[in-house]
C-alpha cells in the first residue's frame, strides 16, 4: 500500500497520484474533478520526499489568463498553506515567491511566470517547483518532472509536447503527468493522443477507469458519473439542489459541451470532414485487407 498522502485525496485521485511505474500518464478528468489541485499536490509531495528534486508546472492558464489563471493561483495558495504545516512538522522549511501576498498579487506573479516554491531539506539542499507558460520556448530545457495542466486548451500543444519529452531520455526517474478534459476541437493533437479506442465502454467506478489510448498512452478517466458514485453530486443551475449527472445534463442548454466536459466524450468538433481518430481506426483495420492500384498512367483507348 502507498503511504498516506500529506493532504486528503478524493477517491478517484489516490491511484493515479501514486503511480510511479509510468513515465508518462494522462488524466482525462471531467470539469471540477480537481486536476490542478491533484497535480500541484503531487509536485509538492515529490519535493518533500526527494532532496534536490525539481518540478516544472506548465500551465495553459498562464497563456489563457482570466478565470483559469485565478483558479490555478487559488489552487497554489491553498496548497502552499497546507504543505507549509506539513513541512514544518517534518523539520523542513517552505518558502515561495508569493509568501505574504494576497490572491490578486499571487495571480500577477503567476502570470509573470515567477511563481516558485522551494522546500529546504538542509541549509544547502532544496527542492523546487516552478511555473512556466505553455509554449515550446519556455518549456524546453528543464531536466525535471513535468506537469502539464489543461493541455487540451494549449493551441500549439504538439510543439510543447515535442519540447518536453526529451528530458526523460537520460533519467529514468523523471516522469510526466498531463491533465485535461477532452478538447473541443477534434483536430487538436491531444484528441488523437488520448482518445480511447473505438467502441470501448467504461463502467461507472468511484476510482475512475484506466485505458490505453490509440497512440499507446496510459489514460486515467474520471467522469461526473464516477464522482457521483463517490458521493460528489452536481448542483442544478437554477434551483441549486443536489442532482444526479443525468438531471444536471437535462438542465444544460448545450448537451454536446456537457458530454465533453463532464463525461469526457471525444466528439467531432466539426473542423474536419473525418476525425483523426476515425482515420486512424480505418487505416489500422484496413492495413492487411487493401490493395493499391497505380492510376498515375493515362489510359489509352
Q: pLDDT tens track of the chain, all 301 residues? A: 455 555 677 899 988 988 889 999 999 999 989 898 898 888 888 888 899 998 988 887 776 666 667 877 888 888 888 888 888 888 888 999 989 888 888 888 887 878 889 999 998 999 998 888 777 666 555 568 999 988 988 888 888 888 887 877 778 888 999 999 999 888 899 998 999 988 899 999 999 999 999 899 999 999 999 999 999 999 999 999 999 999 999 999 999 999 999 999 998 754 555 545 455 556 556 656 666 555 555 545 4
Alpha-carbon torsion (144, 56, 8, 183), positive or negative: negative
Whole-number pLDDT of residue 6: 57
Only one residue has cell 513535468, namely: 146
Whole-number pLDDT of residue 166: 80
Whole-number pLDDT of residue 1: 44
Alpha-carbon torsion (94, 95, 100, 105), positive or negative: negative
- Report CA-CA distances (Å) from 49 to 36, 40, 115, 299, 300: 20, 15, 21, 72, 76
Whole-number pLDDT of residue 76: 86
Tell me if the pTM is above 0.85.
Answer: no
Q: Which helix (H) or strand (E) holds 128?
A: strand 126-133
Q: How many CB atoms lie within 10 A of CB 104?
A: 9
Reduce the DSSP state of residue 120 to 3 states and report it.
strand
Whole-number pLDDT of residue 301: 46
Whether the CB-CB separation of 188 and 94 falls below 8 Å is answered with no
Ordered structural domains, the chain, with CATH: 11-286 (3.40.50.300)
C-alpha cell read off for 107: 495571480
Amino acid at each position: 500500500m502507498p503511504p498516506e498522502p500529506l493532504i486528503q485525496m478524493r477517491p478517484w485521485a489516490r491511484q493515479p497520484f501514486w503511480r510511479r511505474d509510468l513515465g508518462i500518464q494522462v488524466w482525462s478528468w471531467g470539469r471540477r474533478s480537481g486536476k490542478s489541485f491533484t497535480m500541484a499536490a503531487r509536485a509538492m509531495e515529490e519535493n518533500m520526499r526527494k532532496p534536490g528534486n525539481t518540478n516544472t508546472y506548465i500551465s495553459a492558464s498562464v497563456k489563457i489568463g482570466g478565470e483559469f489563471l485565478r483558479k490555478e493561483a487559488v489552487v497554489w495558495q491553498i496548497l502552499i498553506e497546507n504543505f507549509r504545516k506539513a513541512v514544518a512538522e517534518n523539520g523542513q522549511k517552505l518558502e515561495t515567491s508569493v509568501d505574504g501576498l494576497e490572491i490578486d498579487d499571487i495571480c500577477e506573479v503567476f502570470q509573470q511566470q515567477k511563481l516558485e516554491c522551494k522546500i529546504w531539506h538542509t541549509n544547502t539542499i532544496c527542492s523546487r517547483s516552478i511555473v512556466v507558460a505553455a509554449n515550446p520556448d519556455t518549456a524546453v530545457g528543464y531536466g525535471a518532472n513535468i506537469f502539464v495542466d489543461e493541455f487540451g486548451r494549449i493551441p500549439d500543444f504538439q510543439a510543447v509536447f515535442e519540447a518536453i519529452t526529451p528530458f526523460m531520455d537520460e533519467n529514468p526517474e523523471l516522469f510526466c503527468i498531463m491533465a485535461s478534459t477532452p478538447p473541443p476541437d477534434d483536430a487538436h493533437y491531444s484528441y488523437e493522443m488520448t482518445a480511447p479506442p473505438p467502441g470501448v465502454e467504461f463502467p461507472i467506478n468511484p476510482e475512475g477507469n484506466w485505458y490505453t489510448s490509440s497512440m499507446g498512452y496510459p489514460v486515467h478517466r474520471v467522469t461526473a458519473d464516477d464522482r457521483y458514485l463517490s458521493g460528489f453530486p452536481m448542483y442544478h443551475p437554477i434551483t441549486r439542489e443536489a442532482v444526479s449527472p443525468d438531471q444536471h445534463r437535462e438542465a444544460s442548454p448545450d448537451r454536446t459541451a456537457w458530454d465533453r466536459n463532464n463525461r469526457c466524450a471525444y466528439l467531432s468538433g466539426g473542423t474536419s470532414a473525418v476525425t483523426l481518430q476515425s482515420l486512424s481506426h480505418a487505416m489500422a483495420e484496413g492495413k492487411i485487407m487493401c490493395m493499391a492500384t497505380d492510376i498515375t498512367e493515362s489510359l489509352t483507348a
